[in-house]
Amino acid sequence: MGSLRDVHGCLVDLDGTLVRGQQALPGASAFLEALEGRFVIVSNDAEHTPLELSRGLKRLGLAVAQRRIVLAGTTALDEIALRLPRARIYMMASKSLMAHARDQGLVPVQTRPDIVFLGRDRQFSYERLTIAANAVRDGAELVAANPDLVHPGPDGAIVPETGALLAALLACTGPVPHRVIGKPEPALFEAGLALLKLPKRAVVMVGDNPATDGEGARRFGLRYFEIRDGVFPLLGSAPPQHESASLLALSA
C-alpha cells in the first residue's frame, strides 16, 4: 500500500505514456506541469540524444529540458566512455549516437573494436551484422542499448527495435555475455534517480509497460503507477491501495 502524499518526484516513461507516435497524449502536458519540474523522463530510446528529444517534445507542446531526459542509447555510451575512456567502438546506431560517442571521446572504428554497440540502427545490414558478429567472436564486449524486440507503430504496425537486432547478432555468435542498459535493467532508473536527487521512497515510476517500466521499478525498489487510458496519477490525491487500479480510481 502506498500513498501519493509522500511522492516528491516521478520517473516517467515516454512512448505510450507521454506521447504516441507524433502526438502528445491527452493529459501529458498537465501532468508534467503538475510535477513542477520534479520529474525525469527515462526512455529506452536508442536513437536520439536528449537535446533532439527535447526539441521534438517541444513541437508536440511538451516543455522538457534536455537535462530531464535519460535515454538508453546515450546513457549506454556515457557509461562506456566512463569505464573505458577512448575505447574503440563498432557502432550499429544512428548518426546522432555516433556523434554523441565521439563527443564522449569514444573512437568509432570498423575493425578491431573493444566494444560492439547496438542501438536502433535503421541502416542495419548483412554487412554490419557480419562485422559485429566477428568482432564479438574475436573478443569485443557487446553492449545493447535496450532489450526491446519491437514497439507499436501507427495502426498496430510492427516497428523493430534494438533487441531484435541483438537477437540476430546472438543468433550468429551463440550465447555470449553482454550488457543491456535499457529498462527493465537498473541503469536508467539509477541515472534518473540521481538527477531527481530524491530517495527511492519519495519517487514513483510512471509508465505504460509492466514488463519494462513495472518490472524494472520493482527490481530497483521503486513504486510503479501504470498509465491506462491516459489517466495520470495526481499528486496529493487520495492514497491508492493498488497501483494501476488506483489510477483508474483517481480519475473518478
Q: How far is the CB of 43 from Mg ion (least distance, A)?
A: 8
Would residue 213 show up in a list of annotated catalytic residues for this protein?
Answer: no
115: helix, strand or coil: strand
Q: Which stretch binds Mg ion (CB under 5 A): 6-14, 78-86, 101-109, 225-233?
A: 6-14
Q: Which is catalytic among the residues 6, 13, 121, 138? A: 13
Cβ proximity to Mg ion, 141 vs 213, nearer residue: 213
* Nearest residue to 195 (alpha-carbon basis) of 44, 3, 63, 10: 10
Cβ proximity to Mg ion, 104 vs 146, nearer residue: 146
Q: How far is the CB of 208 from Mg ion (least distance, A)?
A: 4
List the one residue from 120, 209, 222, 224 that touches Mg ion (CB under 5 A): 209
Cβ proximity to Mg ion, 43 vs 104, nearer residue: 43
d(CA 237, CA 218): 23
Q: Which stretch binds Mg ion (CB under 5 A): 66-74, 117-125, 178-186, 208-216?
A: 208-216
Would residue 15 show up in a list of annotated catalytic residues for this protein?
Answer: yes
- CB proximity list for 94: less than 8 A, separation 6 or greater: 47, 48, 73, 119, 120, 121, 122
Which residue has the closest beta carbon to Mg ion? 16
In this structure, what DSSP letter does residue 25 have?
P
Q: How far is the CB of 125 from Mg ion (least distance, A)?
A: 28
Q: How far is the CB of 90 from Mg ion (least distance, A)?
A: 29
d(CA 80, CA 89): 9
Residue list 81-110, contact with Mg ion (CB under 5 A): none
Is residue 192 within 8 Å of 186, Cβ to Cβ?
no
Cβ proximity to Mg ion, 16 vs 186, nearer residue: 16
Residue list 133-172, contact with Mg ion (CB under 5 A): none
Residue list 9-68, contact with Mg ion (CB under 5 A): 13, 15-16
Q: What are the counts of helices (DSSP H) followed by strands (DSSP E) for the chain?
A: 9, 14
List the one residue from 45, 47, 185, 208 that touches Mg ion (CB under 5 A): 208
Q: How far is the CB of 230 from Mg ion (least distance, A)?
A: 13
Does residue 210 touch Mg ion according to CB under 5 A? no
**What are 221's three cell numbers?**
525498489
Cα→Cα distances 121→54, 79, 129, 199, Å = 21, 19, 11, 35
* Nearest residue to 232 (alpha-carbon basis) of 58, 39, 18: 18
Q: How many CA atoms lie within 13 A of 149 on its CB side?
A: 4
Residues that bind Mg ion (CB under 5 A): 13, 15-16, 208-209
What is the set of active-site residues?
13, 15
